[in-house]
Amino acid sequence: MKKTAETLPQVILNMYERATTTPAIKYKTKQGWQSYSWKEYFEQIETQALGLLNLQVKPGDRIAIFASTRVEWCIADWAILGIGAITVPIYQTMTAEDLEFVLNNSGSKILIMENRYTMKVFNQIKDRCPTVEKIIMFDSETSTEPDLLSWTQLQKMGSDRRAKNQNNGNPKEFSDLCKKPVADDMATILYTSGTTGQPKGVVLAHRQAISEVHDCFNYVGVTSADSALTFLPYAHILGRIEHWGAAYIGYTLAFAESIDKIRSNLLEIHPTIMVAVPRIFEKIYSSVWAQVESNIATNKIFRWALAVGLRVADHKLKHEPIPLTLYAPYQLAKTLALHKVTELFGGKLRFAISGGAPMPRDIANFFHACEILILEGYGLTETTAAITVNAPFDYRFGSVGKPVGDVELRIAEDGEILVKSDKVMKEYYKNDEATKESFSERWFHTGDIGEILSSGDLKITDRKKDLIKTAGGKYVAPQRLEGLLKAHSYISNILIHGDQKKYIVALLTLDKGFILNFAKDKGVKYSDYASLLQSPQVLELVRKGVAETNTHLASFETIKRFAVLPEDFTVEAGELTPSLKVKRKVLDKKFKREIDALYSGSKGD
């Protein structure tokens, strides 16, 4: 399929000419769900872009966005790109220290932020950020502060400039600017959160962005008739590609009110596609089982229905027709139980795309049995998200799919995945040393270990730097152990440890909702939640889960001891990345005492 644009600003121009009755954007207010048509969306972008021009923003200027996912984020991003400036996304959970580094490293001229909370973070370091000349705030009607503008004030500036352009015979100022950027012009700098170290600015040009959205969305079969509920952070490459891809393809993007309201919003929007990280599916999976196991009759019916669904799903995986002997039981299974899972996603989901972290295979199988197809893909910020992805017509659980578009893969002698593609970043911003270390003869080093299967699909086994080498010289992939443990719905997060040690240990956090229901069902007596976690009943539950996991592992991989932590890992505490991966080195340091105790024998199983 021929590309409809060579740069992101050309995507903006296509919005204005798009002849469709489906909305571009949906968002919820106190009055209910509102929407913009594609022409209205373009006009919103144009207005804010003209406002930025009034602030003397020039091509190449960096403008940072420090906010959560919302309609204004998209409009701001497109407005920045349309006038040839460069967007610098910042996670809303970023610390003041990292914020200072990003603003200064990027040389951001303007900081667009969400509200007074983000202003509070910025105020801690603003005196050390000399390049920031102006602040624009989404959640503010008016401002009398000299360096602060509200979003509505910027809109008023843009509207006034449009009126002036009309009078001066220059009504296409913004459209003309959108035609100027070329494919190799810088579009954005995304700072990788990483699991260790200082953020690195990944430079992506328009060429990388268009290569990604064109190849990936067309490959999996997304069309302008689709709709999606968006909730991923746009400072993360996967969320950013979703927002760009919706505009490129022309499908409707509806904004979730918050992470906590995803499930209710799914029932209101009825999306046909969904882009998410595995943690979202893990939460829904745990919730389903918590409800199922709360009732003996429901439990029995659901498990029978799931068994039937899994048999049908196996035939689908093998591209085999469903046997006639399974047809009637399958219809009954859907009617009695499985449809309830399908309806949790709104009832119209064609497929979901998962990225950012490994998808536990048993969870993918579970949802597949319930007619929710989760297509796992693989990529990095440095590769503009996916370089491989499963497709509705060609998928294998346990793999991350085949290379997309122009992607070439090579497996190095040490197992590292190397890639060559237009989707690979230009460089790390102002970091020549890191850039050189990441490439060899134009091949980008992903830092991930994997293998190419006989089918042509890529399989990821672990992060190169995450591999644990035991004292016995054996290599252990912690992600595999974590995936197996998360098959137990009461386990929330895991830290595997064992580098240069005689055996493997694990720190576990538990799903609070599940554990509270478990305590109620079993009549467990406890004084507070922390004491409940250390009760014999809960520890026995976890012990059984660890023992079951160990049956799938070689002896050197098995978890010999574990400890249950009183609180879950969070992004806010700096224990998880914004894409919900554990920060291993941070956690190793933070929980050194607990880890040492597991090796000294004073705590564990």
Residue 114 φ/ψ, nearest 5 degrees: -85, -55
Percent of the chain with pLDDT over 70: 98
601 confidence band (pLDDT: 50, 70, 90): low
Q: Shortest CA distance to 290 belongs to which of 58, 462, 48, 492?
A: 492
164 confidence band (pLDDT: 50, 70, 90): very high
What is the rounded CA–CA span in Å between residue 58 and residue 56?
6
> Taking the domains of the chain in order of start, what are their residue ranges?
8-205, 282-370, 373-465, 467-600
Three-class SS state of 445: strand
Report pLDDT digits (tens) over 110-154. Answer: 999 999 889 999 999 999 999 999 999 999 777 778 789 999 999
Over 70: is that where the pLDDT of 194 sits?
A: no
Mean pLDDT on 69-74: 97
| Angle at 71 (CA atoms; ends 198, 356), nearest 5 degrees | 40
Mean pLDDT on 499-521: 90
Q: What is the pTM of this model?
A: 0.83
Report pLDDT digits (tens) over 359-406. Answer: 888 899 999 999 999 999 999 999 999 999 999 999 999 899 999 999
Contacts of residue 458, Cβ cutoff 8 Å, sequence gap at least 6: 378, 388, 399, 400, 401, 402, 403, 409, 417, 450, 451, 452
Q: Shortest CA distance to 157 belongs to which of 264, 17, 57?
A: 57
Helix H, strand E, coil C: the string for 563-590 is EECCCCCCCCCCCECCCCCECHHHHHHH
Over 80: is that where the pLDDT of 239 sits?
A: yes
193 confidence band (pLDDT: 50, 70, 90): low
Contacts of residue 55, Cβ cutoff 8 Å, sequence gap at least 6: 110, 134, 149, 154, 157
Cα dihedral 580, 586, 592, 596 sign: positive
Contact 240, 208 (CB under 8 A): no
72 confidence band (pLDDT: 50, 70, 90): very high
Identify each DSSP E strand in 360-429 by its residue range.
374-380, 385-389, 402-403, 408-411, 416-420, 427-428
Residue 336: Cβ-neighbour burial (10 angstroms; 0-12, 13-18, 19+):
middle
Q: Shortest CA distance to 280 belongs to which of 385, 363, 387?
A: 363
Contact 106, 85 (CB under 8 A): no
Element of type H or E holding 190: strand 186-191
Scored b (16 or more CB within 10 A) or e, 541-566 reads bbeebbeebbeeeeeebbbbbbbbbe
Mean pLDDT on 255-265: 94
What is the rounded CA–CA span in Å between residue 307 and residue 316?
14
197 confidence band (pLDDT: 50, 70, 90): low
Mean pLDDT on 451-466: 87
Over 80: is that where the pLDDT of 261 sits?
A: yes
Cα dihedral value 472, 473, 479, 485, nearest 10:
-20
**What's the confidence (pLDDT) of residue 500?**
78
**What's the confidence (pLDDT) of residue 40?**
96
Contact 249, 216 (CB under 8 A): no
Domain 8-205, CATH homologous superfamily name and number: ANL, N-terminal domain (3.40.50.12780)
| Range 373-465 classified under CATH 1.10.150.110 | no
Mean pLDDT on 207-221: 98
The rounded mean pLDDT for the chain is: 92
Over 70: is that where the pLDDT of 9 sits?
A: yes
Contact 15, 48 (CB under 8 A): no
Fold entry, domain 467-600: GMP Synthetase; Chain A, domain 3 (3.30.300)
How far is it between the farthest Cα atoms of the chain?
Answer: 81
Over 50: is that where the pLDDT of 602 sits?
A: no
Over 70: is that where the pLDDT of 58 sits?
A: yes
- 467-600 matches 373-465 in CATH topology: no
**What's the confidence (pLDDT) of residue 580?**
77
Contact 497, 504 (CB under 8 A): yes
**What's the confidence (pLDDT) of residue 196?**
47
